[in-house]
Chain A
Amino acid sequence: DTAVSQTPKYLVTQMGNDKSIKCEQNLGHDTMYWYKQDSKKFLKIMFSYNNKELIINETVPNRFSPKSPDKAHLNLHINSLELGDSAVYFCASSQASPADSQETQYFGPGTRLLVL
């Protein structure tokens, strides 16, 4: 009965490869997010989608491309992986609409990406 789920949980890959991380939420929320947690545990937002529409796009390299096939899913595709991409990636969802920030965000378990 996981509310926000991510796959895979662990991902080890070589530099230069392309990989995807999937996220699904069964909470009926309209907004989904991707956050990156670096080695110092700093969490920073990357993207936000509301009803499949991109709302927030922080200064993230364009090697990172989010894709939202429907409002319950937000996948993250990363091209040409670099060593600095190693991090934990968290997906989250909330009931927030674009004009409303007063909603709790619910986080997935994280995907630990290691680029060798």
Chain B
Amino acid sequence: AQSVSQHNHHVILSEAASLELGCNYSYGGTVNLFWYVQYPGQHLQLLLKYFSGDPLVKGIKGFEAEFIKSKFSFNLRKPSVQWSDTAEYFCAVNERSVYNQGGKLIFGQGTELSVKP
């Protein structure tokens, strides 16, 4: 069965520190990859996505992620975090196959990011 693993459950950083959140998935076929963010008390919002092409994708708010197919990874990065980046971050995958009717997303368990001012 497919799964998505986020290695860090809780990350605490000071403002201006660099961020990297790990995400690995287990699926041998072609996938679409997503990072969502959930700010406190709010709904999930899309940060960025990868479908094909350049494996380095840029999203909103200065976030980027790199798809490394050989490592089954899609790590999220930001060079300098701000206090307002405090949130829960979710990596998600869906398989691009005729068996995935309707695009079921498989989510990782989330990483809580706390940024200290």
Does B26 lie at the interface of the complex (its beta carbon under 8 Å from any beta carbon of A)?
Answer: no
In the bound complex, CA of A109 to CA of B46 (Å): 13
Are A102 and B32 in contact (CB-based, < 8 A)?
Answer: yes
Q: A90 near B44 (CB under 8 angstroms)?
A: yes
- Using an 8 Å CB-CB cutoff, how does the interface string of A41-82 with B read, 1 for contact, 0 for none? 111110010100001100000000000000000000000000
Q: Is the CB of A42 within 8 A of B107?
A: yes
Range class of the B interface residue count: 20 to 34
B103 touches A31 (CB 8 A): yes
Q: Given A41-B110, A101-B32, A101-B95, is A108 in contact with B43 using a C-beta cutoff of 8 Å?
A: yes
Query: Chain B: which residue is nearest A4 at the CB level?
Result: B43
The size class of the interface chain A forms with chain B is: 20 to 34
- Cβ contact within 8 Å between B105 and A45: yes
With CB as the reference atom, state the residue of chain A lying closest to B103: A101
B109 and A45 within 8 A (CB)? no
Query: Quick check: B49 and A99 within 8 Å, CB to CB?
Result: no
Interface string of B35-79 (1 = CB under 8 A from A): 010000011111001010000000000000000000000000000
From the candidates A105, A109, A110, name the one contacting B103 in the complex (CB within 8 A). A105
Which residues of B have CB within 8 Å of A35? 105, 107
Q: What CA separation (Å) do A4 and B42 show in the bound complex?
A: 12
**Interchain CB contact under 8 A, B95 and A109:** no
Q: Chain A contacts of B94 at CB under 8 A?
A: 101
Q: Which residues on A sit within 8 Å (CB–CB) of B102?
A: 31, 33, 48, 50, 55-56, 96-98, 101
Residue of B nearest to A40 (CB): B109
Give the residues in chain B near A44, CB-CB below 8 Å: 107
Which residues of B have CB within 8 Å of A1?
A: none
Choose one: B51, B104, B107, B109; the contact of A48 (CB below 8 Å). Answer: B104
11 pairs, CB–CB < 8 Å, chain A vs chain B: A31-B103, A33-B102, A33-B105, A35-B107, A42-B107, A43-B92, A43-B107, A102-B96, A104-B34, A105-B105, A108-B43
